[in-house]
Amino acid sequence: MSEATATQDVHVDRVLVSLRDVHRDYPLGAERVHALQGVTLDVERGDYVAIVGPSGCGKSTLLNLIGVIDQPTSGTVEIGGKRVDQMSDWEATSFRLRNIGFVFQRFYLMPILSALENVALPMAEAGFPKEEQRMRAAELLEYVGLSSRERHRPSQLSGGEQQRVAIARALANRPALLLADEPTGELDAHTGAEIISLFQRLNSDGATILVVTHDEELAGAARRKIHMRDGRIVDGAVHP
Amino acid sequence: MQQPSPRTIAIDESLAAQAKLKVGDRVTLLARPAAEDYAVMTATPSGYTPSATPPETVIVAAIVRRGADPSQVARGDLLVRMHLDQLQEISGYGDRVDRFAIATKPGLRIGQLLDHINDVAFGFRAYRSHDIAVETSRTFQVVSRFHRAIGVITIVASSVFLLCIMVLKVEERRRDIAALRLMGISRSSIVKSIIVEAALVAVLGSILGVALGWAASLFVNWHYQGLYRTPLEFSIVTPEIVAVAVSLSLFLGAAAGVLASLRLVRTPPLVLLGR
Ligand SMILES: Nc1ncnc2c1ncn2[C@@H]1O[C@H](COP(=O)(O)OP(=O)(O)OP(=O)(O)O)[C@@H](O)[C@H]1O
Ligand SMILES: [Mg+2]
């Protein structure tokens, strides 16, 4: 094996997310909204990327494509070397379950389940044994600082605590990628700061994180900031 | 003249209650002049009404509970069992008899007996008690069919209602369902869990319904058995009824769950979230 190919292999392996000339149009009556207009982007393993830009510039659209929730009108999206832009609903669902953790602005915890059960839910779907589900869910809750809240229902938790449960749930199946769309959007500055430091800790423990946010603090904590405008990346500089 | 010891009669509970009679009471049998075709009895604490033939004093020897005959329930008849000559005397019918029953020994060929009697009989006919029972319960069959129709209509109406509630309930969870789908929970897992939940609620509901029906039937029986003084069961909850109720609600609940959840899991999650 030549040295050149070896380096290239390492490079390919390091890139986790790879988008090439991605367009996403939404039909709007007779018109079409060009939400993404040729986005090309690589995200390396272990990176912590914040996507920022004015409202309506296509941040959520981009995150949804990377999260295999949505499909591009044209262009390719690869995650871990696997094309994900043409997957059937069934393939996409199962891919998301095992490879992607989502954190939403509104935590979307199941109201009738306890914190522990909420965290165990994706593991149950993936078919892990009950005991393993319980143990790992407890570990994850401990990681996000909620060991004492295992039996609590979402309604018995504060907003910040609910978001931390949601983050623990996103990590349940050891996803390659953690995606968050305005994770601090519903929280006050103080609880928002807790989430920000949690993301930093996660990233230093090896998680690859992509956040979309208007929150300067959260964006500032990322290693790399990507600026978007009108469906294009205008600046993808590495964060100092 | 030596007084022969009085003969005995038996009366039914209704009469005992109305005339405040108990076993051992002495009563006088007489027909009121104005009413020739029925028998009246009056308690006589202080003697009796004089009449042509001196009325006979008898002793109430027994108070009998009536059999469970639906055809007699609402008629309010008062029954007295007396000796035949007393009846003839009091009714003035003489030898006339409207109907009488013959008890047969087991093993007798009743068909042949009937044919024989009907061949020789003049002015009357013999029937099997079974045939008479069938004949007299025609009304009840109609009523029962009517009840069944009401039951079917109730079930159809409540199924529609159930489906609507189910759709609304599931609709309330569209965001939860969308979030589950985004997390990678499959459609079939979601539908399954909704079916399980719906079925559970349906079974609990039907158990509650059966308990309520059972309590209502106890009350109905208690009330009407008291009112008509009959051991007749007016309302019964059989194991078959319970089985039908539980399995029907299980089926309807699960079906409503399927219909309601399919609608939602077919919608893309981003659309469910209002995007
Ligand atoms: N389902 C849709 N149908 C039609 N147009 C859509 C749809 N989703 C998004 N758009 C449009 O695409 C563009 C990008 O939307 P997107 O949600 O990605 O913006 P955003 O950067 O996340 O904005 P915000 O910061 O307000 O969340 C907007 O103009 C929006 O109106
Ligand atoms: Mg957005």
**How does pLDDT run across A172-198, given as a tens digit for each residue?**
999 999 999 999 998 998 899 999 999
Question: Which residues does B166 contact at the CB level (< 8 Å), separation at least 6?
Answer: B198, B253, B256, B257, B259, B260
- Looking at residues B122-135, what average pLDDT do you find? 84
- Give the nearest partner residue to A108 out of B179, B186, B187, using CB atoms: B179
**How does pLDDT run across B80-91, given as a tens digit for each residue?**
888 888 887 777
Give the start-end residues of each E strand in A45-110: 48-52, 74-79, 82-83, 100-103
Rounded to a whole number, what is the distance in Å from the CA of B248 to chain A's nearest CA? 27
Tell me if chain A has a CB within 8 Å of the CB of B270: yes
d(CA A201, CA A208): 11
Q: In testing the pocket of ligand 1, which one of A23, A36, A61 has its CB within 8 Å of the most ligand atoms?
A: A61
Sign of CA dihedral B187, B188, B190, B191: positive
Contacts of A111 in chain B (CB under 8 A): 176
**Contact across the interface for B182 and A96, Cβ inside 8 Å:** yes
CB atoms within 10 A of CB A24: 22
Q: B177 and B238 in one domain? A: yes
Stated as kind and residue range, the H or E segment containing A123 is: helix A115-126
Q: B220 and B255 in one domain? A: yes
Query: Chain B interface, mutation test: which of A68, A88, A93, A182, most B Cβ atoms within 10 Å?
Result: A93
Q: B41 and B67 in one domain? A: yes
- What are the strands of the beta sheet with B56-64, ordered from one edge? B40-43, B26-30, B56-64, B8-12, B80-81
User: Which residue in B has a C-alpha nearest to residue A103's C-alpha?
Assistant: B183
Quick check: A2 pLDDT over 60? no
- Asked if residue B215 is part of any domain, the answer here is yes
**Contact across the interface for B184 and A69, Cβ inside 8 Å:** no
Quick check: B32 pLDDT over 80? no
Contacts of A104 in chain B (CB under 8 A): 179, 182
Contacts of A122 in chain B (CB under 8 A): 183-185
Quick check: B149 pLDDT over 80? yes
Range from A52-56, B23-27, B47-51, B125-129 carrying the lowest mean pLDDT: B47-51
pLDDT band at residue A148 using 50, 70 and 90 as cut-offs: very high
For chain A, the domains span 15-235
Q: In testing the pocket of ligand 1, which one of A33, A52, A70 has its CB within 8 Å of the most ligand atoms?
A: A33
In ligand 1, the atom with minimum distance to the C-alpha of A231 is 14
Quick check: A16 pLDDT over 90? yes
Residue ranges making up the domain that contains B143: 138-272
Quick check: A240 pLDDT over 50? no
pLDDT band at residue B43 using 50, 70 and 90 as cut-offs: very low
pLDDT band at residue A62 using 50, 70 and 90 as cut-offs: very high
Q: B123 and B75 in one domain? A: no
Architecture of domain A15-235: 3-Layer(aba) Sandwich (3.40)
- Asked if residue B23 is part of any domain, the answer here is yes
**How does pLDDT run across B55-66, given as a tens digit for each residue?**
778 899 999 887
Q: B203 and B119 in one domain? A: no
Contacts of A67 in chain B (CB under 8 A): 182
Range from A112-116, A160-164, B125-129 carrying the lowest mean pLDDT: B125-129
- Calculate how far, in angstroms, residue B68's C-alpha sits from the geometric centre of ligand 2: 76
Q: What pLDDT was estimated at residue A124?
A: 95
**Contact across the interface for A70 and B184, Cβ inside 8 Å:** no
Quick check: A75 pLDDT over 60? yes
Q: What are phi and psi of A107, to 5 degrees?
A: -45, -30
Average pLDDT in chain A: 90
Give percent above pLDDT 70 in chain A: 93
- Site of tokens 């949601």: A166
For residue B14, the number of C-alpha atoms closer than 13 Å in the C-beta half-sphere is: 18
Q: B162 and B252 in one domain? A: yes
Contact A154, A111 (CB under 8 A): yes
Quick check: A25 pLDDT over 50? yes
> How many domains are there within chain B?
3
Q: B83 and B166 in one domain? A: no
- List residues of chain A with CB under 8 Å from any CB of chain B: 60, 64, 67, 69-70, 89-90, 93-98, 100, 102, 104, 106, 108, 110-111, 121-122, 125, 169-170, 173
- Asked if residue B244 is part of any domain, the answer here is yes
Contacts of A64 in chain B (CB under 8 A): 270
**How does pLDDT run across A152-178, given as a tens digit for each residue?**
999 999 999 999 999 999 999 999 999
Q: Which of A24, A17, A54 is nearest to A39 (CA)?
A: A24
Q: What pLDDT was estimated at residue B218?
A: 94
SS (H, E, C) B70-112: HHHHCCCCCCEECCHHHHHHHHCCCCCCCCCCCCCCCCCCHHH
Q: Which of A155, A163, A208, A168 is nearest to A183 (CA)?
A: A163
| Closest Cα to atom 29 of ligand 1 | A56
Q: Give the type of residue at A171.
A: L
Quick check: A117 pLDDT over 70? yes
Q: B213 and B149 in one domain? A: yes
pLDDT band at residue B3 using 50, 70 and 90 as cut-offs: low
Query: Chain A interface, mutation test: which of B169, B173, B183, most A Cβ atoms within 10 Å?
Result: B183
Rounded to a whole number, what is the distance in Å from the CA of A131 to chain B's nearest CA? 20
Quick check: B223 pLDDT over 70? yes
- Give the nearest partner residue to B181 out of A93, A104, A110, using CB atoms: A93
Sign of CA dihedral B103, B107, B113, B115: positive
In ligand 1, the atom with minimum distance to the C-alpha of A54 is 25
Smallest-distance ligand from the CA of A227 = 1
Contacts of A97 in chain B (CB under 8 A): 183-186
